[in-house]
A and B are shown apart, each in its own frame.
Chain A
């Protein structure tokens, strides 16, 4: 048992109002620059809908994530090393800009500079890629609030699946309309296929907290990671030519602050905390045959932080005491393993994602309430779970590889909580049969209510701070996925890196990264017309030509 700690998140979809504050604040913090105009590390999709990029969930088309090959062995769906070598310059399953959207802006200046006339001046849209006037035909969130659903809704891969398998009829009709919002960030998976896909070994999963990052110095822009991620949460910066992704706001998390998306969430629906997991069992859990068993398999990889053996193994693995304590108080552990009301997103991709979701309740179909029955009465509500507006089958395709049972169980627990607390709020005696019917106690339902409904800041974010004294050791070991058969392991080969270890962060790489990130022009060695000449360099400062020029800067 190799106990490791991972920073994980849960999103309570019962509370998401689709305000997109998380998307906007993340964009302003991380992707508000040229090269990543079209990139939203955090996006919020309306479901049913195609998502962003369009139809990313259709892995028959995009080949993301893992699959079991004919011998039952876990392999990348997009293929192994040979396939990657053959397609390294022209990857057929790479989404292009149209699948995301072509970013645009407006000629705002025209509003202030237009000459006097007899009609209103107007700011016309123009493409941020070409600079030319453009028509707007897709955006980062085109089908928000079911916009265009009669025409595009059938392209939602889940709707398509449900219709093909005749599990549930999803009709886009006024009387049966349903929707909910699905905010998404990088899953920071335990078994990340993006890391495994990188030919340069530029991606890594941090040892101390499991955050998955792209090393900007190592990245060579092959974009295999974009294909490899089944959630399409690694993006390509078309200015720098490198991959970028959600960083879980590690500079904030390291000092105990929640991610920007969580901090600014209006609905108070996000939870951040640690989970302890057994790194030795990740591969095995990802390899179970039946996709419907992946949820349970992943739950078993997550460990009980109160178990003395786990604590001892954690200590032995170098996990600090306050981290072990944080794992015990973790809201993630509570929601995933204790109350079991959170579910993983698309476990069938076999990446063992670590951002989980509490599925939303939805209104009881009117048929029940029209007959004069109280839709929220405990007896009626349980019977009504199967006829909620949002089809159970849709949620199951999203969270449990199509298995309706766990979704039903979660919704029953949430419904029980509502019913039980309603009595208490109205000053009526508590009905203990309600929690008993879902295998819980009244006290547990009240605790769950406190966590989900009251959702106090301190309860939602239990984030231990980074231990600087361990920093040096972390520089030496680079990646937590460098074990036998692990996704981070690349043997020497025509295209593999012998070391597979990204360069440790140091002063030189920090400045190089910073310069490259803030360059106004693409990094193009040919532009400077000369190679870097180290012979004439006196060792002080930076040799000319090593870094891209910044505007107005005098380079020696």
Chain B
């Protein structure tokens, strides 16, 4: 089951959109690639047999979206829950672009049947827990987690020697030679209660922050007084998080950026760890506690915290790695310094121990795409890039009438005059862009500011506005990510080695799709929808 909220996976972020439609959802797609031949398949992954002409199809059982507009994702969802928008809920906002934390406060109540994300998830949790208590009960789960950055797992492969426990090169030791394993008790009937309370692990294990642990014992007690405690159920006696405002209060209480006591405590811990004076960064803030009400009154400047590497002390603005550069706190690398050399086995095998130039992948050799350039006939093969659009924030506002009136009013592909001329395409004419990953139908924008041999199809252009059926297969054209797919670089999968260790949403394999190429063809200007 997949829940999409505050996201538009199938209209914006899913690189390799057609693969998602085909294999994940089992919906019709414009996928044109055939399966990887057997001799090129990864040896350590079980390849499931073809269900219907290639690969597993429709693996997902249920797709749920929570959104306030009709997107490519909600159109495909089994269930769409109407969502409240920004000024209809309590929430917190912050960013490293400015040194403040501030609140969202409802200007109106969520209208009609919309609910805030908080209310939606809690309602689902309550219904789920009622059913799960009966059908699932209490179970134990074996959870494997990657060796993470800023944990002892980082030193699991001394010298960068990659020993494979499965091949018998090393004994299987969880957390050292294999992923960390943990047995987790899941009380499915208690999910709703636990969602609405702050659990005991906050005090028992503390809050991890970049290799140190913050102990919020005092904060949790204060929070219990401020928010009240839950009575009965799995969260009995624990601080209540049963409203969005209380959750915001808890976040502010447990972060060193908004709780000076934790900041000073954290810096003192860090001082002992790295042997450098650091607590002066939070000097004067020891007593400061930013509450939700403070943020509602106006944006509040944050406190310098060991959770981040910047310093806002004395009114400075955030810049990363300030503490490393100025306070000489060691860098979170193998040597504790900034360094270019990487000595891991896999990196050495690829010849990248020092940074070197790598040209774009040869898509012709790898995937059989045509050679770059015009073929003298009616098509031209170009590099395919998806920079961010100026008329939307990802896919938000890409369907907004004012944005569309100020641009070209629909999906577009920016081309250099030479490439457009090679296929006889004029400005604003419909074209089709095709590669093995999918099909895109858009109008050409011919401009001399695009480098020859490259096209831009901006991120994100969905298939909900002015997208006709394609000539290629008479189905609706795709989104900008219909022509991409992920290409994972092997060295990004290393893990367990100093700064190459995995950190969720921070360090790890990236969604690489910049080496794609596509064929652009002219088409009939009579479009059918």
Contact = CB atoms under 8 A, between A and B. Distances in A.
Given A139-B405, A140-B406, A120 B448 contact: no
A88 to B, nearest CB: 32
B447 interface: yes
B401 interface: yes
A174 B427 contact: no
Contact of B464 (A20, A103, A122, A179): A122
Given A139-B409, A174-B416, A123 B445 contact: no
B28 A118 contact: yes
B448 A142 contact: no
Nearest to B11: A120
Contacts of A141: 405-407
Given A105-B401, A106-B465, A148-B427, A179 B449 contact: yes
Which among B403, B447, B464 has the highest number of chain A CB atoms within 10 Å?
A: B447
Nearest to A118: B28
A124 B449 contact: no
Interface stretch (A149-157, A196-204, A346-354, A515-523): A149-157
A23 B406 contact: yes
A24 interface: yes
Contacts, number: 114
B466 A145 contact: no
A94 to B, nearest CB: 22
A24 B406 CA distance: 9
B448 A125 contact: no
Interface string B435-450: 0000000000111111
A188 interface: no
A125 B405 CA distance: 11
A85 interface: no
Contact of B465 (A119, A122, A137, A152): A122
Contacts of A142: 408
B463 interface: yes
B427 A106 contact: no
B408 A147 contact: yes
The contact size tier of chain B is: 35 or more
Contacts of A119: 28, 469, 475-476
B464 A137 contact: no
A142 B475 CA distance: 28
A148 B75 contact: no
Contacts of A104: 405, 409
A144 B407 contact: yes
A174 B449 contact: yes
B428 A148 contact: yes
A177 B72 contact: no
B506 interface: no
Interface string B406-423: 111110001011000000
Contacts of B452: 174
A57 to B, nearest CB: 20
B399 A136 contact: no
A332 to B, nearest CB: 28
B467 interface: yes
Interface string B388-414: 001000000001011111111110001
A120 B408 contact: no
B402 A120 contact: no
A205 B405 CA distance: 32
Interface in A197-244: none
B173 interface: no
B529 interface: yes
Contact of A146 (B75, B399, B409, B448): B448
B371 interface: no
B405 A149 contact: no
A146 B28 contact: no
Given A20-B406, A137-B428, A174-B416, A124 B529 contact: yes
Nearest to A44: B406
A106 B466 contact: yes
Contacts of A146: 447-449
A172 B427 contact: no
A378 B421 CA distance: 43
Contact of A106 (B28, B401, B426, B428): B401
Contacts of A112: 70
B511 interface: no
A19 interface: yes
Contacts of B414: 147
Contacts of A150: 417, 427, 446-448
Nearest to B445: A147
Contacts of A125: 409-410, 466
Which among B404, B406, B445 has the highest number of chain A CB atoms within 10 Å?
A: B406
Contacts of B28: 118-119
Given A104-B409, A105-B401, A174 B476 contact: no
Contact of B446 (A121, A151, A174): A151
A142 B446 CA distance: 12
B405 A123 contact: no
B451 interface: yes
Interface in B446-490: 446-452, 463-469, 475-476
Given A144-B407, A151-B427, A174-B452, A122 B446 contact: no
A136 B409 contact: yes
A139 B407 contact: yes
A147 B458 CA distance: 14
Nearest to B27: A118
Contacts of A139: 405-409
Nearest to A109: B70
Nearest to B401: A105
B86 to A, nearest CB: 16
A409 interface: no
A177 B466 contact: no
6 contacts: A123-B466, A136-B408, A139-B408, A147-B414, A148-B427, A148-B445
4 nearest A-B pairs in the assembled complex, by CB-CB distance: A136-B409, A148-B427, A111-B70, A172-B448
Given A119-B469, A144-B407, A174-B451, 17 more contacts: A18-B390, A23-B406, A24-B402, A106-B404, A120-B75, A121-B75, A122-B464, A122-B468, A125-B410, A139-B408, A139-B409, A141-B405, A147-B446, A148-B427, A148-B446, A150-B417, A174-B450
